[in-house]
Amino acid sequence: MREALETLVLNPASALTAAVAYGLMLRSGATFGSLLNPWALSLPLWVAGYLAVRMALLGFVDGFVWALAPRLPALPSRVGPKPVFQHKINATDVAYLIVNSTVEYVFALQISHLLWFAPLVVRAPTSLSLLNGPLAFWMLLVVDDMLYAPLHRAMHLQAVYRWVHKHHHRNTFPARGYIDAANEHPVEQIAALCLHWVAVHVVAHTAGGGGAAGPAPLPGQ
């Protein structure tokens, strides 16, 4: 647990992320409460939603892995006489997974609130078209991947790797579905989700037809 606290708190990447988040909240006039709970849910509903999202992700991701993996041929790195090392889950991993699951849930609340209320997103069935429907969804995947690729490369820079991305590479044998996929430093998780947020706005302003509605709102705004 000491390692988890040190890498989460005594970490320049964590400090920078917190400073940027605080600055954006001041700029947008958002409160910490509106950031965590944009739908203004009661505490029981908020917790119930968290549990529902957890079950959905674990059921989908892990269920998909368990159903599909046995049908696929093993990778070359997973066959042969040399035993494959699998990192054992420790207290730091558990701490990261708890923090990341909360970050994911807050992001799910924020993105659903954006898609429901933001004027830059087309929602009326009569306004849907090939451009702001299937093509926009395809563009969302492309833009998100286009943004994440340089971020991932930047995380391998020596000045960044030890503080953020190193933890994710401890696991050289990812075979536990969601647990291995989400086992990363929370700063990496937050950065990736912010790119999802940016991708939604880029696609909405280019293919969604809402670009004339005004500037994109920030989380909690």
Q: How many angstroms separate the CA atoms of 146 and 67, rounded?
A: 29
Q: What is the pTM of this model?
A: 0.85
Contact 120, 205 (CB under 8 A): yes
Q: Is the pLDDT of residue 77 over 80?
A: no
Q: What is the CA radius of gyration of the chain?
A: 19
Higher pLDDT: 154 or 128? It is 154
With tokens 């286009």, the residue in question is: 146
Least confident window among 56-65, 129-138, 164-173: 56-65
Position 197 scores a pLDDT of 93
What single-letter amino acid sits at 20?
V
Q: How many angstroms separate the CA atoms of 14 and 7, rounded?
A: 8
Least confident window among 27-36, 66-75, 152-161, 201-210: 201-210
**10 Å Cβ neighbour count for 151?**
14
Residue 113: partners with Cβ closer than 8 Å, 6 or more residues away? 38, 39
Least confident window among 15-19, 65-69, 110-114: 65-69
Q: How many angstroms separate the CA atoms of 130 and 164, rounded?
A: 40
**10 Å Cβ neighbour count for 189?**
22
Position 4 scores a pLDDT of 85
Q: Which two tokens stand for residue 85?
A: 């090392």
Quickly state the pLDDT bin for 81 (edges 50, 70, 90).
confident
Q: How many angstroms separate the CA atoms of 109 and 39, rounded?
A: 7
Least confident window among 40-44, 67-71, 205-209: 205-209
Residue 39: partners with Cβ closer than 8 Å, 6 or more residues away? 109, 112, 113
Mean per-residue pLDDT over the chain, rounded:
86
